[in-house]
Amino acid sequence: MFRTAAFFTAFILNSSIFAQTAKDVALDMKVEGIEFIHPFTEKDDLNHQLGRPNQYIEKVSWPDKRIDPKFESDGFYDDEIDPAEFKGGTIEKFKNIADLNRRFEYIKNIYLNSPFLNQYMYKKGLFLMRLDKEFTPTQAKQYEREFNKVVK
């Protein structure tokens, strides 16, 4: 009986974690700067890693009007702008923790060697959130709190 209950609990937990998408996480965060998100595909992922072995399986990005100068004075963003140029954040989802940790360490090592490229990075569950360095520490902390609240 105990093994069955433990298996069932693990299955439910893993299923609910896996069911949550990067888009869900971004849209559920209650942060003033998130107006819309762009879900990347294999064709427009600028890193060409989406869906590749040992890489992320989902990726979304968004511009934040508090740091992205491309927002117009009326609060709208030109939809012709390439999502690779967004100044804001990105959430990547991974198939497993090992892939997530490998990507996290890879990016961290790049930024340790090139501090001018630095960014904020947070991980929880199967998700990695990266924020542009232009955010103030207070703004980044707000994102971190929401990210930790939303990710299951």
For residue range 36-68, list pLDDT tens digits in order: 899 999 999 988 999 999 999 999 999 998 898
The predicted-structure confidence for 83-125, as pLDDT tens digits, reads as follows 888 889 999 999 999 999 999 999 999 988 887 888 999 999 9
Is the pLDDT at 22 greater than 90? The verdict is yes
21 within 8 A of 35, measured Cβ to Cβ: no
> Could you tell me which residues come within 8 angstroms of residue 112 by beta carbon, excluding any fewer than 6 positions away?
none
Q: How many CB atoms lie within 10 A of CB 145?
A: 14
pLDDT at 5: 46
Is the pLDDT at 73 greater than 60? The verdict is yes
| Segments in 20-44 forming alpha helices (H) | 22-28
Q: In whole angstroms, how far apart are CA 68 and each of 3, 86, 133, 135, 141? A: 52, 7, 12, 10, 18
The pTM (predicted TM-score) of the whole model is 0.83
User: What single-letter amino acid sits at 89?
Assistant: G
